[in-house]
Amino acid sequence: MTKTIWRQGELIEVTIANLSDTGDGVGRADERVVFVPDTVPGDRAIIRLVHVKPKYAHGKLQQLLEPSSHRIRPNCIVADKCGGCQWQHIDYDYQLVAKQNQVIQALERIGSFIQPPVDPVLAAPSALGYRNKSTYPLGISATGQVQAGYYQKGSHQLINLNQCPVQDGRLNPLLAEVKQDIQQRGWRIYDEQRHQGQIRHLGLRIGRHTGEILLTLVVKDWNLSGIETQAQEWLKRYPQLVGVSLNRNGDRTNAIFGSETRCIAGVPHLHENFAGLEFQVRPDTFFQVYTETAEALLQVIQSELNLQGHELLVDAYCGIGTLTLPLAKKVRLATGLEVQPAAVEQALLNAHRNGIDNVTFQVGAVEKLLPKMGTIPEVVILDPPRKGCDRAVIDTLRQLKPSRIVYVSCKVATLARDLKLLCQDGQYTITRVQPADFFPQTAHVEAAAFLVLSDSHKDSNSFTKTEI
């Protein structure tokens, strides 16, 4: 049977059957796959082909013939344009099902695991109003008005926002009003094509439990006339605002933050309560964007580990100690490894603030520090960035042979890749995978995988164990 030739711009009818890991609907026609944003499994639709390859195509929703039972009206008026969310048109229960399937499929396809033990997704307490941090690029409208928002899907066109339904609602007044203040001050908005202008991004961060807010402007240089006066005005206007900072990023780059931040007024950090501890969080600190879901996942980790107080624990990629410090209270000694010196400085401050003295932190790349530990930990926590673990980290763990590993991942493809290496030759066994929804209304899913060392690999070890 000869396949129909697909052409760019052609209209075809497709029934959406699945969702991709990027959030697009997935349908089939003529034995080929079509990826279509803004669709839901169960949708029957007319699709315009916009990018055609021999075995697949990308399409654009042209006409909805029959809507899926999982399709809902988005809460945001610009949800069909803004690139901040992909799934506001999908009911939340089905979002959770899709995310569980995403984890299962990655472990099966990439990790080669058969029937991996993946639990239902840990649901978020609320599917809206949850983000404790938002960083908005700034722009200028055709009429010269300062804009802040997210880029349109698949483009660099800024969609102006005065409020965002997924960020903490207490930040919305600042988003709408700070733009007007920037306009009145006459501060020039950065033009990335010409590498000219002053202000690049507006950053807002809030302690979900404390209500303390930080406001940060990312600037090309420090020369922002009148910023000290304006910062004081903001502190007076917003009682929950505790600090105003500038972050300098003078490079031609897509990275948001530069390496240096200066507090202009108030304090350079907010306080947040997390898992019964108090943390200092700065504007550029990595801290999970959904505080309550992160706390719930930590509870799962604590329950699954069932720590008895005698264990040696290593937390690799520890950041400011978000997981290290709560777990340190339940073990004999905890060690955090982190490549960012500023994060380790904050982790030490947070340990001292909470009176936790059985924890140490080391600065450096995990792949270099882990082989030099001088002890064999019973428990290792891995919480790497999206790219996953360096291969040297995996190799060292297979030599160290800790009894248990907890791998917390924000990208299931690299999770599956690394778990396959750890479990090679039956050395480790996955006992449970707990996905958690840190990013409702998007395709992103977090997951914690629990691994135990197999009995057959417990006897030999290429590292010499020393007691601390």
pLDDT digits (tens, 9 = 90+) for 333-382: 999 999 999 999 999 999 999 999 999 999 999 999 999 988 899 999 99
Return the pLDDT at 84: 87
C-alpha–C-alpha distance, residues 151 and 237, integer Å: 29
Strand partners, 349: none
pTM of the predicted model, to two decimals? 0.93
User: Taking 50 as the threshold, does the pLDDT of residue 465 lie above it?
Assistant: no
Sign of the alpha-carbon torsion through 135, 140, 145, 150: negative
C-alpha–C-alpha distance, residues 298 and 296, integer Å: 5
Return the pLDDT at 466: 41
For residue range 452-462, list pLDDT tens digits in order.
999 887 765 55
Residue tagged active-site, from 76, 389, 410, 423: 410
Q: Cα separations (Å) of 398 from 311, 403, 462?
A: 19, 11, 9
- Please work out, in degrees rounded to the nearest 5, the angle formed at the alpha carbon of residue 367 by the alpha carbons of 363 and 371: 90
Region 170-175: mean pLDDT is: 96
User: Taking 60 as the threshold, does the pLDDT of residue 468 lie above it?
Assistant: no
User: Taking 80 as the threshold, does the pLDDT of residue 3 lie above it?
Assistant: no
For residue range 429-443, list pLDDT tens digits in order.
999 999 999 999 999
Number of other CB atoms surrounding residue 353 within 10 Å:
14
Return the pLDDT at 375: 83
Q: Hey, is 371 helix, strand or coil?
A: helix
C-alpha–C-alpha distance, residues 397 and 374, integer Å: 13
Return the pLDDT at 467: 38
| Percent of the chain whose predicted confidence (pLDDT) is above 70 | 97
Count of CA atoms in the C-beta half-sphere (13 A) of 4? 10
**Whether 85 is catalytic:** no
C-alpha–C-alpha distance, residues 148 and 178, integer Å: 10
